[in-house]
Amino acid sequence: MFIPASRIAPACLIAVFVFGSVRADEVQVAVAANFTAPIRTIAANFEKDTGHKLVTSFGATGQFYTQIKNGAPFEVFLSADGATAQKLEAEGDTVKGSRFTYAVGTLALWSARDGYVDAQGKVLSEKQYQHLSIANPKAAPYGLAATQVLARQGLTDKVKDKLVEGQNITQAYQFVSTGNAELGFVALSQIYKDGKVTSGSAWIVPADLHDPIKQDAVILNKGKDNPAAKALVDYLKGPKAAAVIKSYGYQL
């Protein structure tokens, strides 16, 4: 039965207008591998709260830089450092004024074995392990930080024949989790949730043993006209995302 518009309650008219005007968009996001777990939680909340959807790709920051320069369709980049996003900005590949630090990462020395890694990291110099996993220091900032820790502790030469190098921090973690390496340097976020290490044993590396792992986000030129790209950046700056980020051991 047709109902004249004059007989539709005003509240219903408002609801029809509001819901009819909402436009959900997708945003293509390149995400540093260390941030995999947090962004999955944030993505679910973001979609629920805004209607926009994240399409995420995970990998090493250096590899993403090359892909972006070669025309990859990413619209937002969540880097594992500040330098790469800043370089893209200087080269004109980003939306002016969009770059900001979304998290400061923490490095951890981890073993899947309970009690294997002590709270001071003495295992590096005292135990007879065969393999030490790190991410590629040329492509992954957490791998670079791991080499800095070894250098500052005078262990570079001692462990060089034990190193097993992953393409990114996810692969470095997998080497340890599968038992192919007794221990390795990983992102704390991979083994930590709500104030505690979730499995195995770990040394949370003091921040003064390596350069700060300041992780920057930026809107890339391909995302300049996508409302979902701007919405994601705004969301990452908000309290709901901040609570998730902190729960995985990052600083803000």
- The pLDDT score that the predictor gives to residue 23 is 57
Do 119 and 48 sit in the same domain of this protein? no
Do 193 and 141 sit in the same domain of this protein? yes
Nearest to 173 by CA among 24, 5, 53, 36: 36
- The pLDDT score that the predictor gives to residue 202 is 98
Do 153 and 240 sit in the same domain of this protein? no
Query: What are the start-end ranges of the H helices in the chain?
Result: 10-21, 36-50, 61-69, 83-90, 123-126, 141-152, 156-159, 169-177, 227-236, 239-247
Domain containing residue 57: CATH number: 3.40.190.10
CA dihedral 79, 80, 86, 88 (to 10 degrees): -40
Do 197 and 229 sit in the same domain of this protein? no
Nearest to 36 by CA among 252, 212, 251, 244: 244
- The pLDDT score that the predictor gives to residue 201 is 97
Do 127 and 221 sit in the same domain of this protein? no
CA 146 to chain centre: 17
Q: State the Cα–Cα distance between residues 41 and 49, nearest whole angstrom.
A: 12
- The pLDDT score that the predictor gives to residue 73 is 97
Do 121 and 147 sit in the same domain of this protein? yes
Do 186 and 125 sit in the same domain of this protein? yes
Do 66 and 45 sit in the same domain of this protein? yes
Q: What does pTM read for this prediction?
A: 0.83
Counted domains in the chain? 2
- The pLDDT score that the predictor gives to residue 16 is 33
Nearest to 136 by CA among 161, 109, 170: 170
Bridge pairing between strands 192-193 and 201-204: unpaired
Within a domain: 252: no
Return the exposure string of 34-73: e unless at least 16 CB atoms fall within 10 Å of the residue's CB, then b. Answer: bbbbbbebbbeebeeebebebebebbbbbbbbebbeeeee
Q: State the Cα–Cα distance between residues 30 and 137, nearest whole angstrom.
A: 19
Nearest to 226 by CA among 52, 91, 40: 52
- Which residues span the domain enclosing 157? 106-209
- pLDDT in tens for each of the 252 residues of the chain? 433 433 334 333 333 333 333 457 999 999 999 999 999 999 999 999 999 999 999 999 999 999 999 999 999 999 999 999 999 999 999 999 999 999 999 999 999 999 999 999 999 999 899 999 999 999 999 999 999 999 999 999 999 999 999 999 999 999 999 999 999 999 999 999 999 999 999 999 999 999 999 999 999 999 999 999 999 999 999 999 999 999 999 998
